[in-house]
Amino acid sequence: MKTSTITDGIETTLRSLAPIDLADAPLYVVLQSENPPADRLLLDSWGNYHPKNDLVFRLWLESCGRWRGRGPLVVVNDLDIRDASPSDDAESNVIAIALHELAHALNTGFDLTERTAAEVALIELRASFAISRLNAAPTLPQNGLPWAGHDAHFIRVAAHLSHRAKLAGIAIELDQVIALNHYGLRSSGDEYFCALTGEFERFDDAPLSTLRHHQPPAAFVWRWRNDLADWCQQEPDDAKAMLAFHYMELFKRSL
Ligand SMILES: [Zn+2]
């Protein structure tokens, strides 16, 4: 089975938004509607990215004639997204979640190291175990902070991808790409997007993986710190509130 036209379209769109970051690496989009192995899917999630996802799905990709070597793989639960979306927004919400997962790949990096067959088998076994455990009992991020994994570095990469999508004529709002309130942040995606407007053009031809090495606009830093300060004020657990301070300092080094 080859990819569907929809999958081909999303892969092409995503690749066009991050050509320098992806370079020659294959990019895989796996839609739940394509019936990938059920024990490889997170049930309580609209999307998923892990640097070893391509290996986790490798046998299935090979059986579909889609394996092209190591590269980032994003899973998108298009069935649940469509169920939860008004019909006019369903298509753009599916692309928005694919963008969200691509932002993870660019923000955390991807692993292109070749692995032996035995290593791949072990990775698949561990992933299957971890996924079944998470499906049985979904948990908060490892340190209990709701934005862990979706901090200001991630929001910034996601905003640049949304900006590039708009340039390409794809109407995607940052609020579709990341539900900030779900991560304990009070500002809207639109407010973060506006705070970054001044730097978009400067990075249009740059790899997004290098964004974190450049100081963002002051308005963006202010919004991030303000959101965390708000969260700390309402958090009764002092240990968690102290941990949050680490995230408030994200851009301090380069100030
Ligand atoms: Zn995420």
CATH classification at residue 22: 3.30.2010
My answer on whether 169 and 220 are in the same domain is yes
178 is written with which tokens?
């990341």
**Residue 77 in contact with residue 32, Cβ under 8 Å?**
yes
* Regions of the chain with pLDDT less than 50: 254-255
Give 20 Cα–ligand 1 centroid separation in angstroms: 22
Does 159 fall in a domain?
Answer: yes
Give 182 Cα–ligand 1 centroid separation in angstroms: 11
Give 238 Cα–ligand 1 centroid separation in angstroms: 26
94 is written with which tokens?
């599916």
Give 197 Cα–ligand 1 centroid separation in angstroms: 22
Does 145 fall in a domain?
Answer: no
My answer on whether 124 and 16 are in the same domain is yes
Give 91 Cα–ligand 1 centroid separation in angstroms: 19
Residue pointed to by tokens 């002051």:
218
**Residue 28 in contact with residue 11, Cβ under 8 Å?**
yes
Rounded CA gap, 222 and 225, in Å?
A: 5
My answer on whether 171 and 235 are in the same domain is yes
My answer on whether 172 and 53 are in the same domain is no
What is the structure's pLDDT at 139?
67
My answer on whether 115 and 204 are in the same domain is no
84 is written with which tokens?
């939860």
Out of 136, 165, 199, pick the residue that ends a domain.
Answer: 136
What is the structure's pLDDT at 255?
42
My answer on whether 160 and 185 are in the same domain is yes
My answer on whether 161 and 126 are in the same domain is no
Residue 74 belongs to what H/E stretch? Answer: strand 73-76
How many distinct structural domains can be found in the chain? Answer: 2
Give 118 Cα–ligand 1 centroid separation in angstroms: 29
Give 75 Cα–ligand 1 centroid separation in angstroms: 11
What is the structure's pLDDT at 253?
59
Give 101 Cα–ligand 1 centroid separation in angstroms: 6
Give 150 Cα–ligand 1 centroid separation in angstroms: 6
Give 87 Cα–ligand 1 centroid separation in angstroms: 23
My answer on whether 10 and 131 are in the same domain is yes
Does 233 fall in a domain?
Answer: yes
My answer on whether 63 and 179 are in the same domain is no
Give 217 Cα–ligand 1 centroid separation in angstroms: 23
Give 93 Cα–ligand 1 centroid separation in angstroms: 14
Give 251 Cα–ligand 1 centroid separation in angstroms: 21
My answer on whether 20 and 120 are in the same domain is yes
For the beta carbon of residue 134, count every other beta carbon within 10 angstroms: 15
Q: What is the CA radius of gyration of the chain?
A: 18
Give 142 Cα–ligand 1 centroid separation in angstroms: 14
Domain that holds residue 220: 152-248
Does 217 fall in a domain?
Answer: yes
**Residue 40 in contact with residue 127, Cβ under 8 Å?**
yes
What is the structure's pLDDT at 237?
85
Does 55 fall in a domain?
Answer: yes
8 is written with which tokens?
């081909």
Does 255 fall in a domain?
Answer: no
My answer on whether 97 and 171 are in the same domain is no
Give 177 Cα–ligand 1 centroid separation in angstroms: 9
My answer on whether 119 and 194 are in the same domain is no
What phi, psi does 251 have (nearest 5°)? -105, 15
Give 175 Cα–ligand 1 centroid separation in angstroms: 13
Does 147 fall in a domain?
Answer: no
Give 1 Cα–ligand 1 centroid separation in angstroms: 28
